[in-house]
Amino acid sequence: MGLILVRYGEIGIKGKNRMEFVRRLRRNMRDALKRRGVAGRVWSEGQRVYAETDQVAEALEALRHVFGIVSLSPVVEVPPDLEAMKAEAVRQALAAGLGPGRSYHIAARRADKTFPLTSPEINRVLGAAVQEATGARVDLSDAADVVIGVEVQRERVLLYGGVVPGWGGMPVLSQGRVVALLSGGIDSPVAAWLMMKRGCGVIPVHFYQNETEKAKVLDLCARLQDFSAGFAIRPVIVDHGEVLGDLPQRLRALGQERWTCILCKRAMLQKASEIARDLGASAIVLGDSLGQVASQTLENMRVISHGLDALVLRPLVGYDKAEVVALARRIGTYDISTRAAEGCRFLPPNPLTRASLEGLRRVLEDLGETPPSPWAVGDAA
Amino acid sequence: MGLILVRYGEIGIKGKNRMEFVRRLRRNMRDALKRRGVAGRVWSEGQRVYAETDQVAEALEALRHVFGIVSLSPVVEVPPDLEAMKAEAVRQALAAGLGPGRSYHIAARRADKTFPLTSPEINRVLGAAVQEATGARVDLSDAADVVIGVEVQRERVLLYGGVVPGWGGMPVLSQGRVVALLSGGIDSPVAAWLMMKRGCGVIPVHFYQNETEKAKVLDLCARLQDFSAGFAIRPVIVDHGEVLGDLPQRLRALGQERWTCILCKRAMLQKASEIARDLGASAIVLGDSLGQVASQTLENMRVISHGLDALVLRPLVGYDKAEVVALARRIGTYDISTRAAEGCRFLPPNPLTRASLEGLRRVLEDLGETPPSPWAVGDAA
């Protein structure tokens, strides 16, 4: 059986929240293994979480996508005996390719204080053995080529040379649920992913116009699912035309076509807000970034979500396009989002780029609608 | 006189917006030079912006903080003559430390199509000269140690070997103004900085409780000013106690002390919203990140900004604490934010971590206040 040590960590997590965090993390890790068909056991001990499995490589691949995990290391267990520890440290140093011209250090942690050597002493003794065997030089900084970790526990010692980075963040569902508008473009899946990383179970909502975009959305959801062990991603597909009704025609009749996009987005948010309430979600996530396209202005953002019952989150608002693209590539959504696209069929010739609240009030009046009050609807939860 | 070539770029900027973008960029660059006491001239030609000055090093230091700039290069001007170009390419290659074992390539761009050689031909001829002089090897990828840029214009050729990275983003003020709550902590200045990067003129608002935090806020503003050429950062200091009035006492009398933080934040947002309206700002920027502390839950965020007139932006909502800290270090606010702090004197023993809208409605009722309507107040702009 192979053992994997899992490091989690978020500054400021303590007490009751920490227990909930770790409980949720273990649960999501178990689901991640199960989704890949990996048999294994997950448990926590002190400040660490462990996974034990026969399929270490597959388990690492599944677990490194679980949010809340900072890094993982396959570990080897030896008895709390200095000779056994030295031998294993040397074996791992050689396996990591350590030799003359390369650098290393030993990082011991003594959970069991009855062990006869202190952590600095363990570092020294094991370090000398590694130096003799490899001819590598000691570098106590983070820049060392290889760091061999040693955890001295009561009845065993764990050694590890390799570190697989995780994505950090918080375990999915530890922060509740959100609804995320998903369009098939580059931005919205990245926004949804960021909220997953911060511990949200994400419910994607897609406003259907054509099969091209819908197919992209379904593929994006499958990709996002890789990061959402513990919460099944089930997209809600809503017919775009049904949500809009005769709004485009009525606006045309009023000579107010330029308002189409803004009122369309308000209608989508209104619908998303109802879905959020029905499914126990606390917020709506948008892929908006400021100034990326002509219509993404502060004024338009304000008018689009004004008076809405739900909390609206725009995690990309401070991102450059190049940063969103880089992140989309890293998380594997970019290639799906950039497949051939079909544009929106309701797009008017000259959409408003700087709408005003006063204008919104007027156009709603012209349409015979009363401005919604956020107090009328009540709690989502 | 030394010449500096400035590259800007944001995907999707075109037409009228591009002209406005470049006009604002030149203006902010001029202000950046002026603020450092650097005499110089700034103009644009085609897709590039140039700065000319006797103080190239100082100018680079000032300009690299101007948002909208992707990178800068000090350039040398030679006549459109192949021998002169070869000599200058070799000079720059040697100045950049190119030699055997290192790699390079030439990247020519021919704005003047009447020049007798094509861009690939220029690359070849100049590349051969550099190879002969340095013994370095050609690497056409981005990983080359040195890239020598060549811009062939009608009456001159520009050559440059060094590239100073800029921060990207959009020129400050190109996207309007926002109000940013600034507390003296780590998060809020980073949130403000991100919105500056996306083209906002930022008006910091600080709710005064003590001199310790105020001094930090003023130092943070001075640091943020380095990134805000073209818009003077003038913090608005508001007395915290005055905004709160007798709210803490009244809540205590009602046995509802746990609501203090949420109603305090609502009062701050209400005040910030008025300041935004008075100063022509379109949004309020908060340093909230989801789940970073026990009170930063989706539920609390929702209740805090519910029914508010203003647009509320939370650019850090998808950030891990470690990511915020790393960015704070890069932009130079971390050391100021982490100076000795004085806590909030209104903090109750057990602040609510998961407030509900229903609860908010009830406590406002108990306080004899009517829930505010976002439609009552009208336009900010």
pLDDT tens-digit profile, chain A (381 residues): 799 999 997 655 666 778 889 999 999 999 999 999 999 999 998 778 999 999 999 999 999 999 999 999 999 999 999 999 999 999 999 988 899 999 999 999 998 889 999 999 999 999 999 999 999 999 998 889 999 999 998 889 999 988 899 999 999 999 999 999 999 999 999 999 999 999 999 999 999 999 999 999 999 999 999 999 999 999 999 999 999 999 999 999 999 999 999 999 999 999 999 999 999 999 999 999 998 887 899 999 999 999 888 899 999 999 999 999 999 999 999 999 999 988 888 889 889 999 999 999 999 999 998 777 776 544 433
Q: What is the dihedral of CA A177, A179, A180, A184, to 10 degrees?
A: 120
Give Cα A278 distance to the centre of its chain: 24
Q: Cβ separation of B169 and A289 shorter than 8 Å?
A: no
ipTM of the complex: 0.91
Distance CA(B340)–CA(A377), nearest Å, equals: 44
DSSP string of A162-180, one letter each residue: --EE---SB-TTTT-EEEE
DSSP structural state of residue B286: -
Q: Which of residues 317-356 of A touch B (CB under 8 A)?
A: 317-318, 320-323, 325, 356
B238 Cα to chain A: minimum distance (Å): 25
Distance CA(A317)–CA(B162), nearest Å, equals: 32
A1 Cα to chain B: minimum distance (Å): 34
Who wins on pLDDT, B16 or B178?
Answer: B178
> Once rounded to an integer, what is the mean pLDDT over residues B207-236?
97
CA-nearest of A59, A68, A19 to A40 is: A59
B228 and B172 Cβ atoms separated by less than 8 Å = yes
Q: Cβ separation of B175 and A301 shorter than 8 Å?
A: no
Whole-angstrom CA distances from A253 to A249, A257, A258, A260, A367 are 6, 8, 12, 12, 10
Residue of A nearest to B310 (CA): A302
- Answer yes or no: is pLDDT of B36 > 50: yes
CA-nearest of B173, B242, B216, B200 to B336 is: B216
pLDDT tens across B142-175, in order? 889 999 999 998 889 999 988 899 999 999 999 9
What pLDDT score was predicted for residue B31?
A: 98
pLDDT tens across B85-136, in order? 999 999 999 988 899 999 999 999 998 889 999 999 999 999 999 999 999 9
Q: Cβ separation of A298 and B373 shorter than 8 Å?
A: no
What pTM was computed for the model? 0.91
> Least CB-CB distance to B168: which of A305, A320, A356?
A320
Distance CA(B185)–CA(B334), nearest Å, equals: 9
> Once rounded to an integer, what is the mean pLDDT over residues B296-307?
94
Query: Which band of pLDDT confidence, cut at 50, 70 and 90, is reported for residue B380?
Result: very low
Q: Cβ separation of A318 and B168 shorter than 8 Å?
A: no
Q: Which amino acid is at B194?
A: L
Q: Is B119 exposed, middle or buried (0-12, 13-18, 19+ CB in 10 A)?
A: middle
- Answer yes or no: is pLDDT of B377 > 60: no
> Once rounded to an integer, what is the mean pLDDT over residues B304-312?
91
Give Cα A215 distance to the centre of its chain: 22
> Once rounded to an integer, what is the mean pLDDT over residues B165-189?
96
- Answer yes or no: is pLDDT of B381 > 50: no
Residues of A in contact with B371 (CB under 8 A): 375
Backbone angles phi, psi at A311, to 5 degrees: -75, 130
Distance CA(A330)–CA(A71), nearest Å, equals: 17
What pLDDT score was predicted for residue A170?
A: 94
Q: Cβ separation of B169 and A297 shorter than 8 Å?
A: no
Distance CA(B310)–CA(B277), nearest Å, equals: 9
Query: Which band of pLDDT confidence, cut at 50, 70 and 90, is reported for residue B12?
Result: low
* E strand intervals along chain B: 2-8, 40-45, 48-53, 69-78, 103-110, 137-138, 146-152, 157-160, 164-165, 177-181, 201-208, 236-239, 283-285, 311-313
B17 Cα to chain A: minimum distance (Å): 8
Report the residue of B178, B297, B311 to disrupt the A interface, i.e. the one with the largest count of A CBs within 10 Å: B311
Q: Cβ separation of B321 and A10 shorter than 8 Å?
A: yes
Distance CA(B169)–CA(B67), nearest Å, equals: 5
Q: Cβ separation of B321 and A17 shorter than 8 Å?
A: no
Report chain B's terminal Cα–Cα distance, integer Å.
44
What pLDDT score was predicted for residue A380?
A: 38
What are the tokens at B209? 């409780």
